[in-house]
Amino acid sequence: MTAKIVVVGSFNMDLTSYMPRMPRPGETLHGTRFQTGPGGKGSNQAVAAARLGADVTFVGRVGTDIFADNAFQIWNSENINTRYVIRDPENPTGVAPIWVEETTGQNAIVVILGANKVLSRQDIDSAAEAIARADILIAQLETDIDATAYALKLAKQSNVRTILNPAPAATLPDEMIANADILTPNETELEVLSRRTLDDIDAAARSLIRRDDQTVVVTLGAGGAQIVTSKNSINKPAIEVQPVDTTGAGDCFTGALAVALGEGKTLEEAVRFANTAAGICVTRPGTATSMPSRQEVDVLIPE
């Protein structure tokens, strides 16, 4: 079956600089290359899901500038439904300057949200019919928090399964957390959201659980992903790769997880699928452009 996924989220134009190492404060370094490309956590997740075979609808805001034109180019090329994307004449498209350390693939990112920040409840209401028809709704934290929380609530009222990728790291209202069936934080995001140190990842993850049927899936990079429920915890290992750029890994994981769940896979199967997709993603530079195809993932799914 084809998964029907609605992504409520951000688009940012990535402005990526590659360098041998990160500069120290006040230091100027010569980088090795620079590239622009489509990004934003929501858009990345939408592209990941579409490339993996899902029927994807995107809900968000962009400006009326050339970066917005770039956004529609990639969405159209991936057959993503953009009926609910608003072109905002008063706010620019979001941008994300990114620094990538070539020796490790690690990155540092600054996000300027622009039009993403003014996504509204009215924008969500306009997409209510599409949300109600979805198998999965995905949300993140690069758009207005009130609108994002409202989207999660609206989805739950329609009995739609919800995934919240709580990134960038932030503390959130209890009701918003409660309306997420699955949360997908990385370790930094888990620490901020739980307000706990990570001496015990399971305990930190369980502190976010507000309902018995909620799950927290903590992404651990090379350490795979930890699936934590109110009663159990299990680690699903990552595939072994040589990372080139880890920027889009979390977005790829969340998009892939939604696809697998929307197709009816179990949570453990879905996490294995998502780990494999994310593993492929980090072997390539860029964010949206690094998302793998379904064929690439299926070939590498461990038995």
Task: Express each pLDDT in 181-216 by its tens digit.
Answer: 999 999 999 999 999 988 899 999 999 999 999 999
Per the annotation, the verdict on 251 as an active-site residue is yes
- pLDDT classification of 302: cutoffs 50, 70, 90: low
Average pLDDT value for residue range 256-266: 98
- pLDDT classification of 303: cutoffs 50, 70, 90: low
- Domain boundaries, given as residue ranges, for the chain: 4-21+33-292
Report the C-alpha gap between 303 and 298 in whole angstroms.
Answer: 11
Whether the pLDDT of residue 106 is over 80: the answer is yes
Average pLDDT value for residue range 88-101: 94
- Predicted confidence (pLDDT) per residue in 43-56, tens digit: 999 999 999 999 99
Q: How many CB atoms lie within 10 A of CB 202?
A: 14
* Least trusted range by pLDDT, from 109-113, 165-169, 279-283: 109-113
Which CATH code for domain 4-21+33-292? 3.40.1190.20
Average pLDDT value for residue range 126-153: 98
- pLDDT classification of 103: cutoffs 50, 70, 90: confident
Task: Please report the beta strands in 130-267, taking only residues with DSSP state E, as ranges in sequence order.
Answer: 136-139, 161-164, 182-183, 215-219, 225-228, 233-236
Catalytic pick among 14, 146, 251, 298:
251
